[in-house]
Structure 1
């Protein structure tokens, strides 16, 4: 609907906090996003202003984020931006939160090894295991000189 979806690239600023809630797992962490620009006078890259976001993850994303992220990790976060304002003790207070849809390590700044998470027990029990089908032939056939060219299909008249 009318939501602001953003993609933020930055570093994990706080260790993810994981909680089991009645509605399911939840995790949150702070994300530091620092802009960089080329200072033409000095002819060097310079750090600009740093924005901090609180990233909220739910369900399986929360479980995986808590198990995978550490302070300082470069990440890419996509989600819904929520800007909230409040008055606390006479002071105006503003927070920028991201309800995460996806979180991943930034592979432009390092490598990662992906491990598929096991399915939650509730989901595994609710669905019967599928019977394995024949394994597809993913191999590319060798280029043989004596191979026959493919026949064109006959036209039906």
Structure 2
């Protein structure tokens, strides 16, 4: 069972990016989430305690967090909560960690510009395929004419090519 949590807070420092021996990207950073409440007696806002979370992001999320986030940024983090006790022989404590599923800027406090990451090209399909279609053609078809043929409502024969697995969407 995993507990999901979403927090808002400020980055304590720039995200640190590391790669495992197998090439897995891991970004780690700390987020402080402060509590504020309105004190009716003094009619002022009072700062409460700050909760600190160690956040880990993996793979593409790690690369993007490292490139996008800086110390002091207000962020929203959603992920799986892990609480563990630790003991180093002289001191004991509790670590509160989040394995992030999503990280982003908190737009209540500022603006952000999103840049979609470029995807790697799709692998070439196996088999004997024709070259890419010209601008006027609608789609690719297998070179051996193994596409399906159906009757259009007007009585004309229409060729429907087989779908390419892993092909880029048209948008």
Q: With the length of structure 1 as denominator, give the TM-score of the two structures.
A: 0.76
Equivalent residue number for residue 146 of structure 1? none
User: How many angstroms does 1:23 deviate by?
Assistant: 5.0
Q: Which has the larger radius of gyration?
A: 2
Of residues 40-49 and 53-62 in structure 1, the stretch that sits farther from structure 2 once superposed is 40-49
User: How many angstroms does 1:93 deviate by?
Assistant: 2.1
Task: Please give the alpha-carbon distance, in whole angstroms, between the structure 2 residues aligned to 1:130 and 1:74.
Answer: 34
Residue 19 of structure 2 corresponds to residue 20 of structure 1 = yes
Matching of residues 75-86 of structure 1 within 5 Å = 75-86=75-86
For these two proteins, the number of residue pairs brought into alignment is 129
Residue 164 of structure 2 corresponds to residue 126 of structure 1 = no
Equivalent residue number for residue 10 of structure 2? 11
| Cα RMSD for the two superposed structures | 1.7
**SS in structure 2 opposite 1:61?**
helix
Task: Name the structure where helix makes up a greater proportion of residues.
Answer: 1
User: How many angstroms does 1:107 deviate by?
Assistant: 0.5
Provide Cα deviations, 1:22-75, integer angstroms capped at 9, x if missing partner.
151110000000011001111121211001111000000000000000000000
Task: Please give the alpha-carbon distance, in whole angstroms, between the structure 1 residues aligned to 2:86 and 2:44.
Answer: 39
Equivalent residue number for residue 68 of structure 2? 68
- Structure 1 moving runs of 4+ over 2 Å: 124-133
Q: With the length of structure 2 as denominator, give the TM-score of the two structures.
A: 0.70
Instruction: Give structure 2 stretches of 5+ with no counterpart.
Output: 125-165
Residue 41 of structure 2 corresponds to residue 44 of structure 1 = no
Equivalent residue number for residue 115 of structure 1? 115
Q: Which has the higher contact order (CA 8 A, sep 6+)?
A: 1
Task: Please give the alpha-carbon distance, in whole angstroms, between the structure 2 residues aligned to 1:11 and 1:39.
Answer: 23
